[in-house]
Amino acid sequence: MEFDENAQLDSSQVRDRRGVSTPLAIGGGTGIVGLVIFLAVTLLGGGSGDPLSLGAQSPGNLSAECTTGADANQRQDCRIVAVVNSVQDYWGDAVDGYRTAPTTLFSQATTTGCGRATSAVGPFYCPADQSVYLDLAFFGELQSQFGAKGGAFAEAYVIGHEYGHHVQHLVGTDRQVGRDTGPTSGSVRLELQADCFAGVWANHADQTGFISALTDQDIALGLDAAAAIGDDRIQESATGRVDPERFSHGTSAQRQRWFTTGYRSGEPGACDTFGAASL
């Protein structure tokens, strides 16, 4: 994935808390994998150590260091800024009354409107403060622990998914869904719709002025990431068995299917997972 070198980035949409010390606790909102990842990491032995041993990065000055698309082509944190800008540029036009939501970069743990959260929770959207939270270390774990190939668009898919939750919050969809689980639960339908919304944005990404045309390889990396964090794959890796009654995000195949639905259609209206007879 390449960015327009002359694109002007708005770093005010990304807050940098990396390296800021925060008391640790488990919390968070609606994430791409959320507590599913926390439980899987714990069961796999990845959560038994002191999270502080991961090490912290010193926060940078994104406003000075991430100014153009050329910076996004060189640095991961600037790339995140560019993707956030692109996603919000699209939804700002697509949703009446869209309100910009910041993404907060953190390391290890942070405070949010949904309570304190650790990196083990994975990237998530907190509806209480309408913000996305992301530890960049997650993308390394996505490859090392969950077997994804990674890449720039795998990261972009994650961000697009979280902003899909912001759209759901703005239109009130998330407030109609309980905490039930299961293969056809509201939780699964909410997450699959966020995957679909990520695909809708991807369809329009090259029209936002930040991202050059996406390639088939980019989309393949996004689909690979979606598959890596399907409920079935995570459960089987963590416990050796699959329990559909505990599904909260959808299977690998379902996550790929709904991202593809959004990408091919380019229409938010195609993402009606709640009205779909089959997921």
**pLDDT per residue of the chain (279 residues) written in tens, 0 to 9:** 999 999 999 999 999 999 886 654 444 455 554 434 433 333 333 333 333 223 333 446 899 999 999 999 999 999 999 999 999 999 999 999 999 999 999 999 999 999 999 999 999 999 999 999 999 999 999 999 999 999 999 999 999 999 999 999 999 999 999 889 999 999 999 999 999 999 999 999 999 999 998 999 999 999 999 999 999 999 999 999 999 999 999 999 999 999 999 999 999 999 999 999 999
Q: Which of 179, 222, 176, 196 is nearest to 30 (CA)?
A: 179
C-alpha torsion sign, points 230, 227, 86, 173:
negative
> How far apart are alpha carbons 171 and 165 in whole angstroms?
10
pLDDT in tens, 214-235: 999 999 999 999 999 999 999 9
> How far apart are alpha carbons 187 and 58 in whole angstroms?
36
The token pair that represents 100 in the structure block: 């910009």
- Number of alpha carbons in the 13 Å side-chain half-sphere of residue 54: 25
Q: Which of 8, 118, 115, 18 is nearest to 58 (CA)?
A: 18
Distances from the Cα of 51 to the Cαs of 42, 47, 56, 135, 210, in angstroms?
Answer: 12, 8, 10, 12, 35
